[in-house]
Amino acid sequence: MLVAPIVRLLDPQPGQIILDGTVGLGGHAAALLPRIMPGGQYVGLDLDDEMLTAARKNLADATGVRLVQSNYADAIAVLADAGIAQVDHVLLDLGVNSAQLSDSARGFSFDRDGPLDMRFDRRSERRALDLVNALSETELADLFYHYGQEGASRRIAKRICEARRSGRITTTRVLASVVESATGGGGKLHPATRVFMALRLNINQELESLERFLESVTGLLRPAGKLAVIAFQSLEDSIVKRFLRTAKTAGTFRSLTPRPVVADAAERACNPRSRSAKLRVAERLTGAS
Ligand SMILES: C[S@@+](CC[C@H](N)C(=O)[O-])C[C@H]1O[C@@H](n2cnc3c(N)ncnc32)[C@H](O)[C@@H]1O
C-alpha cells in the first residue's frame, strides 16, 4: 500500500539499513530492497508467525534480509542482537493484513465465521473471546467507546451481557449478530466494524505498542534518517501526528509530509482498504540526540 510514495519519500540508498516493523507479506520489502543493494540490510519484524513464513517465501531470493518474530516496540533489542545500533529508515504499516482478515480461522473479520481470536501473536494467551465473555458491562462499554469510538457502546455492551446468559460468545458471526441486534444495522459501515476494531486494538495492544515505539524511535534513527508510518484509523494517526508535532517543537524531526499522503484513485479502486490509509514521513534532524 502506498508503495510508490514510500519509495520516493524514503529514497533509500545502497548500503543503508531499513527497519520494517510490520513486514507482513513483504510487499514493501520487495520494493525497497533493490534500492539498498549492494550492501544494505533489511530487518523485518512481525508478531504473526504465519506472515513471517509467507514473507520468507516471498523474499527467498533477496540478500541482506533478516526476519524476526517480534513486536516492533521491542526493535531496539532485536537490532542489538543483530549488532545494529541505528538504522537509516523505519517503516510501520500499521494494523491488520488482508491475508489475516481473509483467513476465517484468525477471527479478525465479521464477514467470515470463525473463532473470536484476533491475536497477531498466537503465542500470547488472551483472545478476543476472553474479553467478550469476561468483561463487565461497563468495561465492555468503555472498551468499545475508547478503542472503537463507538457511539452505541452502552447499548451494545448491555446486549452482549444479555446474550452471554444463554452461553459463551465464541464466534465472529454470533458476536456480529448480537451487535447488529443492539444497533439495528443501517449506515455505511457494518454495525460491528467499531466493536471488532476495538477488540483487535485491545487484544494486540496496538496503540500502546505504537506509543512505546515512538518513545524510542529518535535514538534508533541515524541523523537524516527517515520515519514512515501508515495509519488506518484516526486513533493511530492522532498518536503519530502528536508525536511529530512534539518532535518538531523539540527540533528532533522535520515533517516531509505537511499533509498525510493518501492512496491515489487507481490504488483506491483496486484496494478498497487503501481508502483509509494515511502516510506520514519525517526526517530526523542532524544533531538531534
Ligand atoms: C498492514 S500489515 C503490513 C503489510 C506489509 N507492509 C506488506 O507489504 O505486506 C501489518 C502487519 O503488522 C503486523 N503487526 C501488527 N502489530 C505489530 C506489532 N506491534 N509488532 C510487529 N508486527 C505487528 C501484523 O501482523 C501485520 O502482518
Q: Find the CATH number of the domain harbouring 40.
A: 3.40.50.150
Judge if 215 and 273 occupy the same domain: yes
Question: What contacts 161, CB < 8 A, 6 or more positions away?
Answer: 136, 137, 140
Most distant CA pair in the chain, distance: 62
Is 178 among the domain residues? yes
Which pLDDT score, from 0 to 100, does residue 55 have?
Answer: 98
Judge if 90 and 126 occupy the same domain: no
| Domain assignment of residue 85, given as a range | 3-99+206-284
Q: What is the CATH number of the domain that holds 140?
A: 1.10.150.170
Q: In what order do the strands lie in the sheet with 65-69?
A: 65-69, 41-46, 17-20, 87-93, 221-231, 278-284, 253-255
Where a domain ends, among 171, 203, 235? 203
Q: Is 117 in the pocket of ligand 1 (CB under 6 A)?
A: no
Q: Is 97 in the pocket of ligand 1 (CB under 6 A)?
A: yes
Judge if 185 and 247 occupy the same domain: no
The residue whose CA is least distant from atom 24 of ligand 1 is 96
Which pLDDT score, from 0 to 100, does residue 70 have?
Answer: 98
> 174 alpha carbon to ligand 1 midpoint, in Å?
27
Where a domain ends, among 154, 178, 203? 203
Atom of ligand 1 nearest to the CA of 46: 22
**Domain count for the chain:** 2
Amino acid at 224: A
Judge if 92 and 32 occupy the same domain: yes
- By most ligand atoms within 8 Å of CB, the mutation choice from 22, 23, 56, 79 for ligand 1 is 22
Is 289 among the domain residues? no
> 229 alpha carbon to ligand 1 midpoint, in Å?
12
Strand partners, 223: none
Start-end of H helices in 135-233: 137-148, 153-164, 172-183, 193-203, 206-220
- pLDDT tens digit at each of 289 positions of the chain: 999 999 999 999 999 999 999 999 999 999 999 999 999 999 999 999 999 999 999 999 999 999 999 999 999 999 999 999 999 999 999 999 999 999 999 999 999 999 999 999 999 999 999 999 999 999 999 999 999 999 999 999 999 999 999 999 999 999 999 999 999 877 788 999 999 999 999 999 999 999 999 999 999 999 999 999 999 999 999 999 999 999 999 999 999 999 999 999 999 999 888 999 999 999 999 865 5
Judge if 88 and 224 occupy the same domain: yes
Judge if 220 and 95 occupy the same domain: yes
Judge if 195 and 220 occupy the same domain: no
H and E: helices and strands count for the chain: 13, 7
The residue whose CA is least distant from atom 15 of ligand 1 is 95
Read off the pTM: 0.97
Is the four-CA dihedral 156, 162, 164, 166 of positive or negative sign?
A: negative
Atom of ligand 1 nearest to the CA of 55: 9
> 136 alpha carbon to ligand 1 midpoint, in Å?
30
Where a domain ends, among 168, 187, 203? 203
Q: Is 191 in the pocket of ligand 1 (CB under 6 A)?
A: no
Is 75 among the domain residues? yes
Taking the mean position of all CA atoms in its chain, how far away is CA 100?
Answer: 12
DSSP conformation class of 113: -
Judge if 24 and 88 occupy the same domain: yes
Judge if 24 and 70 occupy the same domain: yes
Is 187 among the domain residues? yes
Q: How far apart are CA 39 and CA 66, in angstroms?
A: 14
> 75 alpha carbon to ligand 1 midpoint, in Å?
13
Judge if 26 and 80 occupy the same domain: yes
Taking the mean position of all CA atoms in its chain, how far away is CA 199?
Answer: 14
Atom of ligand 1 nearest to the CA of 230: 1
Q: Is 121 exposed, middle or buried (0-12, 13-18, 19+ CB in 10 A)?
A: middle
Is 115 among the domain residues? no
The residue whose CA is least distant from atom 18 of ligand 1 is 71
> 184 alpha carbon to ligand 1 midpoint, in Å?
33
Q: Is 239 in the pocket of ligand 1 (CB under 6 A)?
A: no
Amino acid at 259: R
Judge if 154 and 14 occupy the same domain: no
